[in-house]
A and B are shown apart, each in its own frame.
Chain A
Amino acid sequence: AQKVTQAQTEISVVEKEDVTLDCVYETRDTTYYLFWYKQPPSGELVFLIRRNSFDEQNEISGRYSWNFQKSTSSFNFTITASQVVDSAVYFCALSEAGGNNRLAFGKGNQVVVIP
C-alpha cells in the first residue's frame, strides 16, 4: 500500500532563511509519481511539481528545489531565501501507476515565515 510521511508538522523560519521539507514514501510499485502541492491560508491547493519514478534528476524552479532519492525513498523540498508569501501548508503526495491512481497525501508541513 502506498504511504507518504511528512514528519515535521510545523516549521517556523525567519524571512530569508532556507527551509527543507522532508517527504518519505512507501510503495511496492516500480512505476509511481510524486507531487508537491501548496495550500496557502486562502485554502486552495496549488500544484508545484510532478516527478515520475524513472526521473531522479533534481529540479530547481526559482527559489524552489526538489531532491528525489529513490535509494532512501525521499522527495524533499527546499525553499531558498524564504518569504512571507511562502507561509502555507505543503503536501507531498504519491500516486502509483496501477490501481485507482489515487493520490496518497502526507499530512502536510505547516510553514510559517516570520518577517
Chain B
Amino acid sequence: NAGVTQTPKFQVLKTGQSMTLQCAQDMNHEYMSWYRQDPGMGLRLIHYSVGAGITDQGEVPNGYNVSRSTTEDFPLRLLSAAPSQTSVYFCASRKNREEVYEQYFGPGTRLTVT
C-alpha cells in the first residue's frame, strides 16, 4: 500500500492564482480530511469528508473548496490564492467506524503564495 499520497510536494503561487492540491489513499478509508500547519499553531482542519459525495467544513474553510467523487481521492482547491494561505498542507485518512481511529497523514505540500 502506498498509504496517503499528495502532489505536489512544493508549490509557489502568485496572489490570485488558483490551483488544486491532490490527495489519494489506497486503504479504502471512508474518512478523509485536509489540515494546514502554520508555525506555532499546530494543525487546523480545513475540510473533511466521511465518504464519497459527502463533504463538510472544518475549522478554517474560507478560501478552499473540496469534492469527493471517489473513495480514493480528495482534492483541495484554492480558488484565489492569498499570502495568508502560505502554509504546509496535510491530507489524512482513517477508517470511519463508531470508534475514532487514528488518521494517517500524507507527506504534505508546502505552498508559498507571493
Residue positions of A touching B, CB distance < 8 A: 4, 9, 33, 35, 37, 43-45, 47, 50, 52, 91, 95, 97, 100-103, 105-108
For residue B44, which residues in chain A have a CB less than 8 angstroms away from its CB? Answer: 105
Would you list 26 pairs from A and B whose C-beta atoms are within 8 A, ordered by A residue? A9-B40, A33-B100, A35-B102, A43-B88, A43-B107, A44-B108, A45-B43, A45-B90, A45-B92, A45-B108, A47-B103, A47-B104, A50-B102, A52-B99, A91-B42, A95-B100, A100-B45, A100-B58, A101-B31, A101-B48, A101-B100, A102-B58, A103-B35, A106-B42, A107-B40, A108-B42
Residue positions of B touching A, CB distance < 8 A: 31, 33, 35, 40-45, 48, 56, 58-59, 88, 90, 92, 99-105, 107-108
Do residues A105 and B42 form an inter-chain contact, with CB atoms below 8 A?
Answer: yes
For residue A108, which residues in chain B have a CB less than 8 angstroms away from its CB? Answer: 42
Task: Determine the residue in chain B with the shortest Cβ distance to A107.
Answer: B42
Do residues B107 and A102 form an inter-chain contact, with CB atoms below 8 A?
Answer: no
Do residues B105 and A45 form an inter-chain contact, with CB atoms below 8 A?
Answer: yes
A70 to B51, CA, bound (A): 32
A106 to B90, CA, bound (A): 16
For residue A100, which residues in chain B have a CB less than 8 angstroms away from its CB? Answer: 45, 48, 56, 58
Partner of B105, one of A44, A50, A102, A106: A44
Do residues A102 and B48 form an inter-chain contact, with CB atoms below 8 A?
Answer: yes
Partner of B43, one of A43, A52, A103: A103
| Distance to closest chain B CB from A76 (angstroms) | 17
For residue B99, which residues in chain A have a CB less than 8 angstroms away from its CB? Answer: 33, 52
| Distance to closest chain B CB from A51 (angstroms) | 10
Task: Determine the residue in chain B with the shortest Cβ distance to A106.
Answer: B42
Do residues A102 and B59 form an inter-chain contact, with CB atoms below 8 A?
Answer: yes
Task: Determine the residue in chain B with the shortest Cβ distance to A46.
Answer: B105
A4 to B48, CA, bound (A): 20
Task: Determine the residue in chain B with the shortest Cβ distance to A92.
Answer: B42
For residue B35, which residues in chain A have a CB less than 8 angstroms away from its CB? Answer: 103
| Distance to closest chain A CB from B81 (angstroms) | 21
A22 to B99, CA, bound (A): 25
